[in-house]
Chains A and B, each alone.
Chain A
């Protein structure tokens, strides 16, 4: 079967599954790494946040917690770190988000 044949170029996708399920997951992934690359924080700081964020989910009540989504924890950790570093504030994120929801701001890329 052609689909089962080797070939390094095709490996990342067919050697497993698609890495990201939704665009926001890849966005979250890209942002966290790109900001670390730019020196806004050490990668290890992000990792430690992600570990404790996931740990919090694991310790929480099974009936009450959100369904498991790795990148949700990823994004929550990223947002918390960005706020802690004073790069963005809770208020401006909320405001920007509601602008997107209400349509007063347009999606100019992505």
Chain B
């Protein structure tokens, strides 16, 4: 409600940090202007980071990993045992991707990933987290009542017989989900399979696309 006074002062040791969007925008601009002026970083380097995450690093990389796992049992075994080694085989890795763990959905188990501490998210395979993932409300509710959150917020109605497991990502371990391979995908190539894999299916709040819909 009220946005009159700064928050997080104790954590950031900073009472002057602005609150309104316009003020924050100016603050960001001032920081960048000074950092560039002092030669601590170039404007170009900043832009490159942003465009990499906007265009090159995203869920399509995770989709490649999932598609390979669906097609190659040896790769899948490695992925479940050592996700980083498996991703490295596909040239995928990097920042915020240390210690990734893949959890497999089966006909009996559904996995969902949250982060109750901050927003730990495997950037190299999924890109940056969606906005809702970063909401504290999502994180706490998903832990308390995952089945209900999945049904009400994401329209994912899980069979009562399925065991729902919620994995809490931390700075040490970042989880992502290996969704179940959809039916009717026999004989599809890895590229075709990758097109079915959504970001939400790798966080465990959705299913892969139905192959009939993408034809």
A interface residues (Cβ-Cβ under 8 A, vs B): 4-9, 11-12, 15-17, 19-24, 26-31, 33-35, 37-38, 40, 43-44, 47-58, 60, 63-68, 70, 72-73, 75-80, 82-83, 87-88, 90, 92-94, 96-97, 99-101, 105, 107, 109-110
Known: A12-B54, A100-B30. A29 touches B171 (CB 8 A): no
* CB–CB A87/B2 < 8 A: no
Tell me which residues across on chain B come within 8 A of A94, comparing CB atoms. 16
Residues of B whose CB lies within 8 Å of any CB of A are 1-3, 5-14, 16-17, 19, 21, 24-35, 38, 40-41, 43, 45-50, 53-55, 57-60, 63-64, 95-96, 117-119, 127-128, 130-131, 134-136, 171, 191-192, 194-196, 198-200, 209, 213-214
Q: Is A76 in contact with B8, judged by CB distance below 8 angstroms?
A: yes
Q: Is the beta-carbon distance between A56 and B7 smaller than 8 angstroms?
A: yes
Asked whether A22 lies within 8 Å of B31 as measured between CB atoms, the reply is no
Query: Which of A15, A47, A93, A100 neighbours the largest number of chain B CB atoms within 10 Å of its CB?
Result: A15
- Determine whether the beta carbon of B199 is less than 8 Å from that of A16: yes
Contacts of A110 in B (CB 8 A): 29, 32, 43
Query: Which residues on A sit within 8 Å (CB–CB) of B128?
Result: 19, 29
Known: A28-B28, A97-B30. A79 touches B14 (CB 8 A): yes
Given contacts A38-B41, A49-B12, A53-B11, contact A24 B49 (CB under 8 A): no
Chain A residues lying within 8 Å of B25, measured Cβ to Cβ, are 22-24
Query: Complex Cα distance A70/B196, Å?
Result: 29
Contacts of A58 in B (CB 8 A): 136
Q: Besides the contacts A11-B58, A27-B46, A99-B30, what 18 more A-B pairs have beta carbons closer than 8 Å?
A: A8-B63, A12-B58, A15-B199, A29-B128, A30-B46, A31-B28, A38-B45, A43-B96, A52-B11, A64-B2, A68-B135, A75-B31, A79-B14, A90-B16, A96-B30, A96-B33, A97-B29, A109-B43
